[in-house]
Amino acid sequence: MKPNHLPKNPPHDLKQLHEQVTTKLSQANYRYTDNRRRLVETLARYGRPVTLPDIINADPALAQSSIYRNLELLENIGVTCRIAIGSEHAHFELAEQLVGHHHHLICKACGTVQDVHLDLQIESLLEESLAQIASRANFSPLHHTLDLHGRCADCK
């Protein structure tokens, strides 16, 4: 029912990603500066939600304040997404509009987050069930988040 499953574009296709970001930026009358390009590229290279220190570690030339400013700008036009883990740092990744709907494995030990995809059948059953719950509570649903918490392969 709900078109929550948008086409997934593999993050290894950097050129196509940059084209999509270019379009979104120009539609909002923003420039695709070198700073922004490197930020998007860093997120794409990681391929999983990362913290601000992760980003600076991958590209130390980027300034903290500029990264935060651009992450907010890019989030507003649907390029990136901020996710709230329990960790002291927020995590950032490419938006589902670009990389498709997915979920997260969150390691309680090292804090790393990994993308995973739910079986399409369960995903749609879940959507249906959540829509029911929402209408019962007179709640307007926008999107859901589903995280699995535990210990990653490296930490167990």
List contacts with a second copy (CB under 8 A).
Answer: 82, 84-86, 105, 107-108, 114, 116, 118-119, 122, 125-126, 129-130, 132-134, 137-153, 156
> Do residues 56 and 43 make contact, with C-beta atoms less than 8 angstroms apart?
no
Paired tokens of 79 = 């390029």
120 binds, among a second copy, Zn ion, DNA, none (CB under 5 to 8 A by kind): none
Q: By CB under 7 A, tell whether 118 contacts DNA.
A: no
Residue among 85 and 94 whose Cβ is closer to DNA? 85
**Cβ 66 to a second copy shortest distance, Å:** 22
Paired tokens of 21 = 């970001």
Q: By CB under 5 A, tell whether 152 contacts Zn ion.
A: yes
110 binds, among DNA, a second copy, Zn ion, none (CB under 5 to 8 A by kind): Zn ion
Which bin fits 115, alpha (ψ -120 to 50), beta or left (φ > 0)? beta
Can you tell me which residue has the tokens 């930020």? Answer: 39
| 67, 94, 127, 130 from 123: Cα distances, Å | 33, 21, 6, 10
Q: What sign for the dihedral angle of Cα 68, 50, 120, 17?
A: positive
Q: Which range binds Zn ion by CB under 5 A, 30-38, 44-52, 58-66, 99-107?
A: 99-107
Residue among 12 and 139 whose Cβ is closer to a second copy? 139
Q: By CB under 7 A, tell whether 30 contacts DNA.
A: yes
| 49, 134, 145, 156 from 84: Cα distances, Å | 10, 22, 11, 23
Name the site residues for DNA (rule: CB under 7 A): 29-31, 33-36, 51-52, 61-66, 68-70, 72, 88-90
By the criterion CB under 5 A, which residues form the site for Zn ion? 107, 109-110, 152, 155
